[in-house]
Chain A
Amino acid sequence: MTATRSGVLRVVEREAQIFKSLWRGPVILSFITPVMFLAGMGVGLGGMVDDGTGGSGAGASDLGGLDYLSFVTPGLLVASAMQVAAGESLWPVMAGKKWMRTYHAMVATPLDARHVFGGLIVWSGVRAAMSGAAFLLVAAILGGVPSPWAPLALLASVGCAMAVSSLVATFAVGQESDQSFAVLMRIGIIPLFLFSGTFFPVEQLPDAVEPFAAVSPLWHAAELARGATTGHIEALEVLLHSLALVGFFVVGWWWGTRRFTRELQT
């Protein structure tokens, strides 16, 4: 177990080294983009939404009594964590497996496929924590973070990133080219991004569709994050949403270790 942990850490070190040498691109994507969303939707669109409902009308009660900026901030936080995680788990996996074969270099050393996979997942979590912390700070300055519990939202963000990463990387490592990656982003990640209680409550979805939110890791993470940034969440909800995220991760880990081992060590 110690060997596994240090092996995962070695892979994370490598990812960090690569990030250090080309951080500008990723930072712009993972931080500036959600901040722009926050400014556009939270402040711009939110101002309209809040005005239209008169602050205490039907709209505000749909948002659980929150102004729109406070509602959308945790949603954007976890949604960007998901996107960072998906990005880190698609093309870099194909590069490691096929384009640059760097994963094959790793498994020729004491590391094995589980370390490669685990390191990748942890790194997705680290990336989510880094961009999420910066994002939360900006959101707090703009007034979108009413509760002092808000830093705990980063945990939801990291959990979301790791669950998504374990599933997406498992998918990616089984592919022979990146052809399907753009498709996964369009029909998988973007719908989750839009319909997981990030920009509006899932109660707004058609009744037939609403239960499907439960299979979105992003919805569970959004609920947790919103609980933290607003300070309003039941203990049972925390438990159930956390368990759901852990469940996604366990499925991804179980399936992914097999696929990574098959691809890299046969």
Chain B
Amino acid sequence: MRPGTPAVASAAVTEPAEPPLIHASSLTKRFDDFTAVDGIDFEVRRGEAFGFLGANGAGKSSTMRMIGCVSERTDGELQVLGLDPRGHGTDIRGRIGVVPQEDNLDTELTVWDNLLIYGRYFDLPRDVIRRRAEELLEFAQLTERKHDRVDPLSGGMKRRLTIARALMNRPELILLDEPTTGLDPQARHLLWERLYQLKREGATLVLTTHYLDEAEQLCDRLVIMDRARIVAAGSPRALIDAHATREVVELRFATSDARDDAALALEQDAAGARVEALAERVLVYTDDTDHTMGRVDALITPPASVLVRRSTLEDVYLMITGRTLDE
């Protein structure tokens, strides 16, 4: 099941009529003797939400920094909004919105002043900035905190302000690097809602994440990055269909010995297409759940709990990279 050669994004779907907003081929970033991004190819089309999924250090942020024209590529080709970041960095940056991994707001200033100052970086006239700032505060549900300093705001509010700020220049393309990392579940859902709204209004989103549920919820298409390369590409559904089985049987055991014995037995019994022993559970990937359950019932030490579920992106990631994302 593990593919020998990485799939390539540009080969995935039919050619669109409109030129892509981002086009990358053999895109490479090296720092001295370390290769952060190793010859990746992908395209992002207008109006889609495109994701880079991968563990920390897979090369997602380096890719985003090249797209955002703050880091020059070492090799390969890159076009953003039809322009080459080499020589057009300023123009491109003026037309995109960037939500960085770590909030970089002016925390000693008010919410309002943060928007005002940021708008000025784009050389926008003050009355335009004020009008947009009012709208964006509504959008980010921060109108009531308008005159408050940023410092004491919650993590979710700061994130929403960072997103609002990134929209000041009405960007054609919005880059979000790990948009919900470090937020509690409630704040994450509120943020997702805001991102859905942007998507509905036709925005093009490019985001990185190491949360599979986030990738599954938000992305029309995504690529999985592992060790500086793209190892799979497609829609979440297509990736699951292509790389994972229909269902997964998750087993938990009282002891680690019982888990290891069971994993071995299930493997020998060919209980499923693949058996994966993780830290706390054994996963059996199967297209024939009845057969698998029969093998599970035959185990000498029965599992403490059994869960049958549909495959998710997490399984795709595990199948392809051999690791879970939080490892």
Interface residue ranges, A against B (CB under 8 Å): 3, 6, 10, 13-14, 17-18, 21-22, 100-102, 104-112, 264-266
Provide the residues of chain B in CB contact with A265, threshold 8 Å.
70-72
Complex CA distance for A221 and B268, rounded to whole angstroms: 84
| Chain B: minimal CB distance from A135 (Å) | 26
Provide the residues of chain A in CB contact with B98, threshold 8 Å.
108
Complex CA distance for A265 and B29, rounded to whole angstroms: 13
Q: What number of A-B contacts does a CB cutoff of 8 Å give?
A: 72
The main secondary structure of chain A at its interface with chain B is helix
Complex CA distance for A265 and B70, rounded to whole angstroms: 5
Given A101-B100, A109-B93, CB of A6 within 8 Å of CB of B109:
no
Question: Which of B71, B107, B121, B123 is within 8 Å of A266, CB to CB?
Answer: B71
Interface size on B, residues (CB 8 A): 31
| Chain A: minimal CB distance from B313 (Å) | 29
Interface string of B72-95 (1 = CB under 8 A from A): 100000000000000001110110
Provide the residues of chain B in CB contact with A102, threshold 8 Å.
104-106
Provide the residues of chain A in CB contact with B169, threshold 8 Å.
109
Provide the residues of chain B in CB contact with A14, threshold 8 Å.
106, 117, 120-121
Interface string of B291-316 (1 = CB under 8 A from A): 00000000000000000000000000
A108-B120 in contact (CB<8A): no
Tell whether B102 is near chain A: CB-to-CB under 8 Å.
yes
| Chain B: minimal CB distance from A198 (Å) | 32
Complex CA distance for A101 and B102, rounded to whole angstroms: 8
Interface string of B101-124 (1 = CB under 8 A from A): 011111111100100111011110
Q: Can you report 7 A-B residue pairs in the complex whose CB atoms are below 8 A from each other? A: A13-B120, A14-B120, A14-B121, A102-B105, A102-B106, A110-B93, A265-B70
Provide the residues of chain A in CB contact with B106, threshold 8 Å.
14, 18, 100, 102
A112-B121 in contact (CB<8A): no
Provide the residues of chain A in CB contact with B59, threshold 8 Å.
none
| Chain B: minimal CB distance from A29 (Å) | 16
**Residue of A at shortest CB range from B92?**
A110
List the 6 closest pairs (A to B, CB-CB), nearest first: A101-B104, A109-B121, A108-B98, A105-B104, A110-B94, A14-B117
| Chain B: minimal CB distance from A9 (Å) | 9
Question: Which of B89, B107, B117, B123 is within 8 Å of A6, CB to CB?
Answer: B123
Complex CA distance for A231 and B312, rounded to whole angstroms: 81
Complex CA distance for A124 and B48, rounded to whole angstroms: 45
Tell whether B156 is near chain A: CB-to-CB under 8 Å.
no
Complex CA distance for A21 and B112, rounded to whole angstroms: 13
Tell whether B68 is near chain A: CB-to-CB under 8 Å.
yes
A104, A110, A266, most chain B CB atoms within 10 A: A110
Question: Which of B72, B108, B122 is within 8 Å of A109, CB to CB?
Answer: B122
| Chain B: minimal CB distance from A119 (Å) | 11
**Residue of B at shortest CB range from A105?**
B104
| Chain B: minimal CB distance from A41 (Å) | 34
B121-A106 in contact (CB<8A): yes
Provide the residues of chain B in CB contact with A110, threshold 8 Å.
90-91, 93-94, 121-123
Complex CA distance for A104 and B105, rounded to whole angstroms: 10
| Chain A: minimal CB distance from B106 (Å) | 6
**Residue of A at shortest CB range from B97?**
A108
**Residue of A at shortest CB range from B93?**
A110
A108-B93 in contact (CB<8A): yes
Complex CA distance for A6 and B94, rounded to whole angstroms: 14
